[in-house]
Every structure is written in structure tokens, then in C-alpha cells.
């Protein structure tokens, strides 16, 4: 799909409907009076930010948009219907300006954001609204108001967190391919990238950020050299800029330090505010022998300016991890990376876990330290004895003798009677005397009750 980031369109809101001039004429009703209804309101033109769109190509071929007019009023006190609004979908990050005055009408930087740029006309009043005690038969009505009309300039600025800047063939497309799922065109000739490309970079701990690959910038871009600097509008919303320097560029006019100075100069000519944004310098193509030989001199020259350098190789992935750590550190609100190693951004506390608990979890040394007085007192505190259910072995044991051995459950206790007379053992409720004589239980016999009674 062709990438279009700037179009000019004409929009016209709907006109309001005219009021009606009518009188009530029915049989057996004298002097029915005026009954003309009001006209309906015209439709407005509304712009809505849609996340499913990435270009203004639709508005390039359809440049005239007009909303419907309101319906005219009718007799029998019936008002005209109002027209529906005309909704135009545009990508997120679209700026809407008045082309004649240059006034900024709306900035649709959030998904689902809506803005009314031209409003529809108001419907006119019917003659029933002008009836008075002295003017009972008004023979006039009010016309509807015309809708607004404007010539608009739509300008798309991509929403990205990080912008990649550099000369042609510096390795910007290779880098965004390495760290994201974006697949821009890559070739061995200048200006391979003709349109900006966006890629979502997944980072540690489930976080991510959006990176934009901008076409190459050369010296004299402000005068139209190369592709010009028209694509720099897409990095105006970025919070961080990454300057990709090609260490393998041959020639005196393409020295790495000079390339960086040219980029800073072109940024300042396009927008002074853009040149003040935070910037990180990355030296690319260190996998090549010539580039690795130029790296110490470039790092030393940048150290004199107090600017850290991140040597990387977008082709092999060498050094890309520390670069992403530095980018994430700046985006998370941390300190700007210095000449030392970039710090890893702090982890976000889990939802629902207090800060003290989170710090205890993240510090295993504190959790494992039992030598402290608090830990000692907590560990030496007496515990309440737990109630255990007696097992068969415990129930079988008696104070007269030890329990069974090997943890086995004892067998059925012998009654002391011969095998033949075991069936005559006393039942529950009866007892046996010491001499073996059987004694009847003192429990009275049960009375047989009648059937059906208690």
C-alpha cells in the first residue's frame, strides 16, 4: 500500500432545512391556525482516529466530502428530520489544519478521538412559531442556516517512542528488523527506505516500545537534497532519537564524526525543538575490520564531548542488548546513560503487592538472613502442640505394657474362651465377672409397641 502522509481535502457541512408555511384546514374546524413545522438540522463533518489505518491514501483520491442537508418542515405541525453526521476515519496521529489560515483545528493523537471540524446548519422555524394574539395567521417561515465549508490540510505524524536517524545505508532498516517484527526493504544501494516504517520492540519484563525507521538524511536536505527532510515530521512526537553512525563509511567527507555533525545541523534547520530532544549515539557495523579499527578514535572523540557511544552490529546482533537497555532506561524516566554502562530500568512492582513486601521478595539476602534478632525471636517462639488423631497403634498401647512393634496394627484381642464357645461371648451391654459367670445387664427389656404408635 502506498504511504501518503499529507493531503488537502474540501469538506462541506449540511444545510439546515427550511421551515414550512401551512395552515390547518379540516372539516368543521374554523380558523385552524398555522401548522407549519420546523426544518431539520444539517449534518456535521466529524473526523475519528482509527487504529486500523496507517496512511491517508483514501483521502488522496476522494478530496470532496459533503454531509447531508436537513429535511424541510411539513404541515400538520411536523418537523423535518435532522441529517446524520459524516464521519471520516483517519490514522492515529493526524493533524487537521485550516489550509487558508494555517490554524490547527484538531490533533487526533489518541485512538478513538473525535473532532468536529465543520458544523451543520440549523433548521429554520415554521410559521406556527410566529403566531401571536395579534398576528394569528403568519404567512412566512424561517429559512435554514447554511453549513460551514472549509479547505483542510491533513498531516500525519506517526506515533513512535524512538526514532532512528542516520545517513543512507547506515543500517537503520537492518536494526529495526533485528529488534522487531518489521520487515522493511533492505538493499545495498542508497535510499532503499522511501517511507517510514514502524516496529514494536519487545523488551524485558513484558514491556515494549515503538521504534520508527526514517529514510536517510544527507547534507543539504533542507534545500531538497536527497528525499529532503519532509519525513522528519514523523519523529517530532518521539521521546528519544537514536543516531546511527556508519563506521565503515569510506572517504574524508563521510567520516563518522562529520556524519553526526551533519545530522545535528539538519535537525536544527528543520526544528530547533527537535534538535533539543534526548539523543543516543550508536556506532554500527563493528563486525567489519575497518569499522572496528575506527571505533577507538570515534569513542575518544565523543568522550571529549561527554557523549557515550554504543558500538553495535545490526547484522550480527552484537551490542544490541546494551543499546536497548539504554533506550528503555530513558523511556522509563531514568537517568540519561553516561560514559559508563547503562543501568537496567527498575522492575515495576506487581499489582496488589505492597512496596515493603515487594522489596523483601526482590532481596533474597534479607529474606534468608536468620541471624537478626527479629528472625531469631520469630524462629525460637514456642509453637502450640498440634492435636493429632490417634492411630491404631496408639489406641492399642496401654500403660501396663509397651505398644506393638514395627508399627503394625495388633490383631483382635483374645477373649480367653475356647474356640467352640466364642460365639457365646457376651454381647454389648452385658458384662462378665471374674469367675466367668454370666451376669445379666441391669438394663430393662424393651416394651413392644403397637404398630402405628410411638
Q: Quick one: pLDDT at residue 341?
A: 46
pLDDT at residue 269 greater than cutoff 90: no
Q: Quick one: pLDDT at residue 141?
A: 93
Mean pLDDT of the chain: 77
pLDDT at residue 343 greater than cutoff 90: no
Percent of the chain, pLDDT > 90? 26
pLDDT at residue 382 greater than cutoff 80: no
Question: By CB neighbour count within 10 A (0-12 exposed, 13-18 middle, 19+ buried), where does 34 fall?
Answer: buried
Most confident residue range from 7-21, 269-283, 329-343, 385-399: 7-21
Q: Quick one: pLDDT at residue 16?
A: 95
* CA atoms of 236 and 274, how far apart (whole Å): 6
Per DSSP, what are the bridge partners of residue 241?
Answer: 163, 279
Mean pLDDT, rounded, for 120-135: 92
pLDDT at residue 446 greater than cutoff 70: no
Mean pLDDT, rounded, for 335-342: 60
DSSP string, 199-234: EEEE-GGG-EEEEEEPPP--TTGGGT-TTTTGGGGG
Percent of the chain, pLDDT > 70? 71
pLDDT at residue 69 greater than cutoff 90: yes
Q: Quick one: pLDDT at residue 344?
A: 42
Q: pLDDT digits over 348-379, tens only? A: 444 554 444 444 444 333 333 433 443 343 43
Q: Quick one: pLDDT at residue 252?
A: 58
Handedness of CA 368, 371, 377, 382 (dihedral sign): positive
Domains, the chain, ranges and CATH? 6-156 (2.70.210.12), 162-331 (3.40.50.300)
Nearest Cα residue to 8 out of 91, 100, 120, 93: 100
Out of 15-24, 94-103, 204-213, least confident range: 204-213
- Three-class SS state of 175: helix
* Cβ–Cβ < 8 Å for 155, 7: no
Q: Quick one: pLDDT at residue 251?
A: 56
pLDDT at residue 199 greater than cutoff 90: no
Mean pLDDT, rounded, for 267-277: 84
pLDDT at residue 62 greater than cutoff 80: yes
Mean pLDDT, rounded, for 256-282: 86
Amino acid at each position: 500500500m502506498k504511504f501518503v502522509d499529507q493531503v488537502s481535502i474540501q469538506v462541506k457541512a449540511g444545510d439546515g432545512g427550511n421551515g414550512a408555511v401551512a395552515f390547518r384546514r379540516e372539516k368543521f374546524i374554523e380558523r385552524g391556525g398555522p401548522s407549519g413545522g420546523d426544518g431539520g438540522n444539517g449534518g456535521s463533518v466529524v473526523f475519528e482516529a482509527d487504529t486500523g489505518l496507517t496512511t491517508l491514501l483514501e483521502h488522496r483520491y476522494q478530496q470532496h466530502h459533503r454531509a447531508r442537508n436537513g429535511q424541510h418542515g411539513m404541515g400538520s405541525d411536523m418537523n423535518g428530520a435532522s441529517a446524520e453526521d459524516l464521519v471520516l476515519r483517519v490514522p492515529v496521529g493526524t493533524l487537521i489544519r485550516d489550509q487558508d489560515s494555517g490554524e490547527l483545528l484538531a490533533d487526533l493523537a489518541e485512538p478513538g478521538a473525535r473532532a468536529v471540524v465543520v458544523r451543520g446548519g440549523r433548521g429554520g422555524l415554521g410559521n406556527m412559531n410566529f403566531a401571536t394574539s395579534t398576528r394569528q395567521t403568519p404567512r412566512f417561515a424561517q429559512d435554514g442556516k447554511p453549513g460551514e465549508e472549509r479547505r483542510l490540510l491533513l498531516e500525519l505524524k506517526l506515533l513512535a517512542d524512538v526514532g532512528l536517524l542516520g545517513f543512507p545505508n547506515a543500517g537503520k532498516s537492518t536494526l529495526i528488523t533485528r529488534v522487531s517484527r518489521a520487515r522493511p526493504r533492505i538493499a545495498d544501494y542508497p535510499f532503499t527506505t522511501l517511507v517510514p516504517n514502524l516496529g514494536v520492540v519487545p523488551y524485558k519484563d513484558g514491556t515494549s516500545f515503538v521504534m520508527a525507521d526514517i529514510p536517510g538524511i544527507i547534507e543539504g536536505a533542507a534545500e531538497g537534497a536527497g528525499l529532503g527532510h519532509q519525513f522528519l515530521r514523523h519523529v517530532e512526537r518521539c521521546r528519544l532519537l537514536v543516531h546511527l553512525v556508519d563506521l565503515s563509511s569510506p572517504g574524508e567527507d563521510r567520516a563518522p564524526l562529520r556524519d553526526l555533525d551533519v545530522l545535528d545541523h539538519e535537525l536544527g534547520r528543520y526544528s530547533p525543538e527537535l534538535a533539543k530532544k534526548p539523543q543516543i549515539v550508536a556506532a554500527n557495523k563493528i563486525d567489519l575490520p575497518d569499522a572496528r579499527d575506527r571505533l577507538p578514535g570515534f569513542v575518544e572523540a565523543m568522550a571529549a564531548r561527554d557523549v557515550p557511544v554504543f558500538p553495535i552490529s545490526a547484522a550480527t546482533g552484537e551490542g544490541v542488548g546494551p543499546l536497548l537497555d539504554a533506550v528503555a532506561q530513558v523511556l522509563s524516566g531514568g537517568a540519561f546513560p553516561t560514559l559508563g554502562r547503562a543501568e537496567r530500568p527498575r522492575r515495576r512492582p506487581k499489582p496488589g503487592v505492597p512496596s515493603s513486601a515487594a522489596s523483601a521478595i526482590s532481596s533474597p539476602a534479607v529474606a534468608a538472613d536468620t541471624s537478626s534478632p527479629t528472625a531469631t525471636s520469630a524462629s525460637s517462639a514456642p509453637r502450640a502442640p498440634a492435636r493429632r488423631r490417634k492411630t491404631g497403634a496408639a489406641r492399642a498401647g496401654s500403660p501396663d505394657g509397651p505398644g506393638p512393634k514395627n508399627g503394625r496394627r495388633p490383631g483382635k484381642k483374645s477373649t480367653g474362651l475356647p474356640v467352640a464357645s466364642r460365639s457365646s461371648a457376651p454381647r454389648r451391654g452385658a458384662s462378665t465377672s471374674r469367675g466367668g459367670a454370666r451376669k445379666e445387664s441391669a438394663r430393662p427389656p424393651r416394651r413392644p409397641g403397637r404398630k402405628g404408635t410411638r
